[in-house]
Structure 1
Amino acid sequence: MSDTRQQLKQIATEQIRRHTLHAASFREMGKVLGIKSSSVHYHFDNRDALLQELVSDYEQDFFARLEECCADISSPRQRLQQLAGLFIDSHQQQQQCLCLAFAAAGDEASAEQRLAVQQFLRRLEEWVEDTLLRAHLLPLARPELARVIVSALEGALLLDRDQPQPLRLQATSQWLSTLTRL
């Protein structure tokens, strides 16, 4: 993959994670990189193709980071804390979850992109479910609890977005540590 193509993908990802899906226009990406928007078209057939690729890359990168930070951890409590830490890191970088930006975009995202976001969320919920297999839990089924945990983290990141401190994310992280008795 060319350096320019990779730089364009990085710019688009940062624009979306810092702002909205709409911020990733070929014109804006070209402006940031110092090239014409027509040159951006050389690297990507169209904006939808670029956005679809970004979601796929984000999912791969997110789960690679998650697996890396949890590789030697078996404790459900510690694994959930590592997951919360990824969201807190996003806040510190003043970024939202890329998939949250796509979900918030509604009809601006294509059906394929919305499907890819749903796949990311299902995969994240499955990771949480797997993490909870060895935990003693509240009287809520693991699939539902996994959905609540993912929703709490995504929502806290969104609500803390313009705040200097990630108070909701920190509260969510503390709450996660109360869910298991090991």
Structure 2
Amino acid sequence: MTEKKRSRHFTAKELRLNLYITQLLVLLISIILAWLLFDSPQDVLTLFVWDPIRILLIGGGAAICIVMLDYVAMKLFPESWFDDGGINERVFHGIGIIHLACVTLLIGFAEEFLFRGIVQTQFGFWVASLTFAVLHVRYIRKPFLFTFVLVISMFLGCLFELTGNLFITIFAHFLTDFMMGLHLREGVDNKGDEY
């Protein structure tokens, strides 16, 4: 059974629930690993530097670069290379903007805390980048999507290495997902929620 056929067995609400559960598990794993791997809570907190101007400029600029790269790639390469089985479209189709912002903020925070804040600081850039890409398991059999996720992970990893600030990568990840989610919430016809 193909991924597209398997995903149609779930409603959009069930797919969103799965997303929430997965992200909450990522957050819980992050907290447990932070407790085990860092000497103190203060060491974890030093990863978060509240510098609104840099967060907006660097994180926002990074997100715009990622979205532009995606846009250019979609113009250059066949549409079939971007086929994720329609899952992203079904998750984001028709979702309210506030709901979209909350979901993408949860994703950005949970994934950046785990991959950049915990894995990258404790095990290194390459382990974090590869783990991030591999854990997007539905892309493993899609060479272009897997490579694209790996490149984004490496970009975010470099951003964290250069700034040392998780808020910057969290904002970049959030804004990227939010902008792409805005596109997807409008870009799918109504049959996306029928399954």
Using structure 1 for the length normalisation, give the TM-score: 0.32
- The structure, 1 or 2, with the larger RCO (C-alpha pairs under 8 Å, 6+ apart) is 2
Greater helix share, 1 or 2? 2
